[in-house]
């Protein structure tokens, strides 16, 4: 079944609907997910291995200008040991994530990927910042198969404001280079960025659809104390759930996570609601406890643990399955 929500107007209609009317969209999104994926949810283990960043994004606690966090890089063996711990928990997919840290070389990263793939037999997903075509090819040859580069907003003017010195067109070019190297690609938006409109959120969904992203995500904006948006209001979690439904309806074949920010903004029900809106991925956080507070996307982060992931998946009437890599 192909999506019938492919126009910007229809996406806007969804984003503007009231809670009673939204149930029709949620049911349609669940039906599309079931037709493509069955009742499967794919479990990943993420390790955030480096937080030094060359960018100065206004909303992120790891921005270059923030002098109030301790910068770190995990050792290669420590990253491998965390991957092995994930495998021992029967999590087959290892998700390596970092800030845009140019000091963590492609060669070093590819050696880690190859070791995890060859010695542990795990699938590897990367979200390690924008890199050039040669780097993408090296990482693909090492065994990684999925690459995520978040665009955060498809509004070019808002993008330039939120991410000084960067352009949306460059982000698109990096995603296209990753695909040309063989990767399945993923991107995503932040719901509730200061200055964002419903129209720009609709454009985010169209952006992901037109790029034919195999992975699409929505995170909810949460302020960080050491950024220019320290006093900004958090994003609307319910609106975020509507964006998840819009993504599922526009991209029936995509892997769409129930991100941890939903649980932060809607405690005890956020990720469940995302699953009921069509999500089919959940990621547990295996970053070492003594480093979690230094990977500061926003203040007082919520970290998903395995028991919680299993409980929320079961509550949604879904089952955990291995992700094809």
Each residue of 280-312: pLDDT tens digit? Answer: 999 999 999 999 999 999 999 999 999 999 999
Let me know the angle formed at the C-alpha of 129 by 230 and 246, rounded to the nearest 5 degrees. Answer: 70
Task: Compute the distance between CA of residue 53 and CA of residue 98 in angstroms, rounded to an integer.
Answer: 9
Please, where are the H alpha helices in 17-105?
A: 19-37, 76-88
Task: Compute the distance between CA of residue 120 and CA of residue 116 in angstroms, rounded to an integer.
Answer: 5
pLDDT digits (tens, 9 = 90+) for 3-46: 445 799 999 999 999 988 999 999 999 999 999 999 999 999 99
Q: Domain spanning 8-321 has what CATH number?
A: 3.20.20.70
Task: Compute the distance between CA of residue 255 and CA of residue 241 in angstroms, rounded to an integer.
Answer: 15
Query: How many helices and strands in the chain, by DSSP H and E?
Result: 13, 8
Question: Would the pLDDT of 133 be above 70?
Answer: yes
C-alpha 196 chain-centroid distance: 19
pLDDT digits (tens, 9 = 90+) for 140-198: 999 999 999 999 999 999 999 999 999 999 999 999 999 999 999 999 999 999 999 99
Q: What is the pLDDT of residue 103?
A: 81
pLDDT band at 101 (very low <50, low <70, confident <90, very high): confident
Share of the chain above pLDDT 90, in %: 95
Domain parsing of the chain, residue ranges: 8-321
Q: What is the pLDDT of residue 6?
A: 77
pTM of the model: 0.96
Collapse the DSSP code of 33 into the 3-class scheme (helix H, G, I; strand E, B; otherwise coil) and give the result: helix
Q: What is the pLDDT of residue 102?
A: 76
How much is the average pLDDT of 55-78? 96
Q: What is the pLDDT of residue 5?
A: 59
DSSP string, 261-276: HHHHHSTTTHHHHHHH
């Amino acid at each position: 079944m192909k999506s019938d929500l492919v126009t910007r107007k229809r996406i806007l209609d969804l984003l503007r609907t009231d809670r009673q009317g939204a149930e029709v969209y949620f049911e349609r999104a669940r039906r599309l997910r079931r037709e493509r994926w069955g009742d499967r949810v794919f479990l990943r283990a993420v390790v955030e291995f480096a937080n030094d960043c060359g960018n100065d994004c206004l909303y992120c606690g790891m921005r270059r200008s923030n002098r109030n966090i301790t910068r770190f890089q995990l050792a290669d063996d420590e990253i491998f040991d965390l991957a092995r711990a994930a495998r021992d928990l029967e999590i087959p997919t290892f998700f390596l994530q970092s800030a845009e840290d140019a000091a963590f070389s492609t060669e070093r990263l590819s050696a880690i990927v190859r070791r995890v793939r060859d010695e542990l037999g795990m699938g590897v997903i990367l979200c390690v910042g924008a890199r050039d075509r040669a780097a993408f090819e090296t990482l693909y040859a090492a065994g990684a198969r999925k690459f995520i580069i978040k665009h955060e907003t498809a509004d070019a003017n808002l993008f330039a404001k939120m991410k000084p010195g960067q352009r949306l067109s460059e982000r698109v070019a990096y995603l296209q280079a990753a695909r040309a190297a063989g990767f399945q690609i993923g991107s995503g938006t932040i719901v509730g960025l200061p200055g964002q409109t419903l129209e720009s959120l609709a454009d985010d969904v169209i952006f992901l659809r037109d790029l034919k992203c195999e992975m699409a995500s929505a995170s909810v904006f949460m302020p960080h104390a050491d950024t220019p948006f320290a006093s900004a209001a958090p994003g609307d979690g319910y609106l975020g759930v509507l964006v998840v439904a819009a993504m599922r309806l526009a991209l029936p074949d995509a892997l769409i996570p129930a991100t941890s920010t939903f649980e932060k903004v809607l405690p005890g029900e956020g990720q469940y609601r995302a699953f009921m809106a069509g999500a089919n991925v959940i990621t547990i956080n295996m970053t070492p406890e003594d480093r979690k507070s230094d990977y500061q996307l926003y203040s007082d982060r919520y970290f998903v643990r395995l028991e919680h992931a299993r409980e929320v998946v079961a509550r949604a009437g879904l089952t955990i399955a291995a992700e094809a890599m």
